[in-house]
Amino acid sequence: MAAGTDATTATAERELVITRVLDAPRSLVFKVWTDPVHLARWWGPRDFTLPSCELDLRPGGTFRLLMRSPEDTLHRLHGVYREIKEPDRLSFTWAWVDEDGNPGHETLVTVTFAEQDGRTLLTLRQAEFESETARDAHEGGWTQCLDRLAAYVPLASTA
């Protein structure tokens, strides 16, 4: 029960839009996106782990994630939730953080969850990137991350 469709469009040079149809109701997809226990099981590109996941799920609340690559490199990111409308929409800022705790360029991520005959049409938008290169790097990461989400959601429905 993997994803039904997958389409990616890069628009306006520094915006990324990815859509995915998931074989699960949107209430479940929203839950696995916003619950740290579930998030730790699917977040990140292929073969990455999420050793630390702190979420303060409320408008103005922050999140901090620490990802570990297969090569044992740590990747830190943080953001602030702008909008939480369960089970329809999440919006949050996104910034990579260096080893000294300094945030990099900030983008805005908006994820919508639309009911589609018992499945979920997920649309992820992220903008505005500093460059097309940065956008393309995120496209690869998000694509792998959403592949992991699609594989995990059927397992989460039985948990």
Does 77 reside within a domain?
A: no
Collapsing DSSP to helix, strand or coil, 105 comes out as: coil
- What is the model's pTM? 0.90
Asked if residue 118 belongs to a domain, the reply is yes
141 belongs to a structural domain = yes
- 55, part of any domain: no
**CATH number of the domain that 25 lies in?**
3.30.530.20
> Is 59 within the bounds of a domain?
no
Number of domains within the chain? 1
In a domain, 131, yes or no: yes
Q: At what angle do helices 26-34 and 132-156 cross, to 10 degrees?
A: 110
The pLDDT of residue 6: 52
Domain span holding position 109? 6-46+84-156
Q: Is residue 95 in a domain? A: yes
Do the domain assignments include residue 52? no
What tokens were used for 22?
A: 């998931």
Task: List the pLDDT tens digit at each of the 159 positions of the chain.
Answer: 444 545 454 457 899 999 999 999 999 999 999 999 999 999 999 999 999 999 999 999 999 999 999 999 999 999 999 999 999 999 999 999 999 999 999 999 999 999 999 999 999 999 999 999 999 999 999 999 999 999 999 888 766
How far lies 43's CA from each of 16, 51, 146, in Å? 18, 11, 8
